[in-house]
Structure 1
Amino acid sequence: MALSLRAATNADHAAILARNLESEHLLSPLDAARLRHLDAQAAYHRVVCDSDAVAGFLLAFREGADYDSPNYLWFTQHYPTFLYVDRIAIAASHQGRHLGRLLYDDLFAFARVHGIDTVACEFYVEPLNEASQRFHARFGFREVGTQWVADGRKRVSLQVAIA
């Protein structure tokens, strides 16, 4: 497996949408127009490739982005500076190969280089996303709040870690 990590480009959007769709039950829906908007707002948007194929991506925002996610907005109300992980998705064919860890290691390095000491994220706790809970615990994330989303159908754990 020849892995590489690089900035996402417009040419990657179809693959990013496919990765998001595969994991949509754990993420929010994403269409091409929304992806273009989020990409323009992102502080960090990188893909991990296996040879030339996009096997995963991570999209993150700084404070001050034009983004209406209730989880992102929660962090804007509670933290003056942060790097918010909006979504990470790895192709089903590449799960268990530590691509998420590769992206998070790079994200934390990005945060340190840019003087950002708080990395923020959320994951579902109702219904529980155990894999995400374990993954984030390994990076030192801790819960700082919870909130109901998706018209009260899902509850998220709002988490932060020190970069």
Structure 2
Amino acid sequence: MSRGEPLMEAVLALNNSHAQELSWLELERLRNLVEQAFYARRIGNLDAFLIALDQDGQYDSPNFLWFRSRYARFVYIDRIAVAHSARGRGCARRLYSDLLDRAAQAGHDRIVCEVNREPPNPASDAFHEMLGFIEIGSATIHNGSKTVRYLSRTL
């Protein structure tokens, strides 16, 4: 993903329009994520984007740190968003497929992520189940305002 300012601002806007599912970002934090990402891609002008870090990421997210405390090597899907106008066209599936291929080529054997349990995210639950992710844990974060399920898929 290019780090050009108009694109980064568009990614930020798409991310923040899904802040309940993803978490709100400021531009500098987004830049930092993209700069250190194992994988940062978009589809089209900005139909969708995905940002993932590997275990070497310098990231203070409680979810990322949960995985780091349990696994020596992994790829963590930090966030994915699909524009409402691009829903139902397979964008998320294409990004995940490309990420899985790249992770396997880099010698990774585990892809991890979290999905909200509270507030619920049934579309994400169904999507990850269809792709073979399984629940491996859960946590309540952000002073009890959010509960997440931790998911993993082996390659």
TM-score (norm 1): 0.91
2:3 maps to what in 1? 10
1:101 aligns with 2:93: yes
- Cα pair 2:117 2:147 within 8 Å, conserved: yes
Q: Which blocks of at least 5 consecutive residues in structure 1 are unaligned?
A: 1-7
Q: Which residue of 1 aligns with 2:40?
A: 45
Q: 1:84 aligns with which of 67, 76, 85?
A: 76
The aligned runs of 1:1-150 (5 Å cut-off) are: 8-11=1-4, 12-49=7-44, 53-150=45-142
Cα distance in 2 for partners of 1:118, 1:108 equals 9
RMSD: 0.9
Aligned counterparts of 2:3 and 2:34: Cα–Cα separation in 1: 9
In structure 1, C-alpha distance between the alignment counterparts of 2:118 and 2:17, rounded to whole Å: 20
Alpha-carbon distance in 2 for matches of 1:152, 1:21: 21
How big is the shift at 1:36?
Answer: 1.1
Residue 54 (structure 1) shift: 1.2
| Post-superposition offset of 1:134 | 0.3
Amino acid at match of 2:108: I
CA distance in 2, matches of 1:126, 1:21: 18
Between the aligned residues of both structures, percent identity stands at: 40
Q: After TM superposition, which residue ranges in structure 1, 4 or more long, deviate above 4 angstroms? A: none
Q: Post-superposition shift, 1:25?
A: 1.4
8 Å CA contact 1:147, 1:156 repeated in 2: yes
Task: Provide the C-alpha distance between the structure 1 equivalents of 2:12 and 2:99, rounded to a whole number of angstroms.
Answer: 20
d(CA) in 2 for partners of 1:139, 1:107: 13
Structure 1 or 2: more strand by fraction? 1
Q: Which runs of 5+ in 2 are unaligned?
A: none
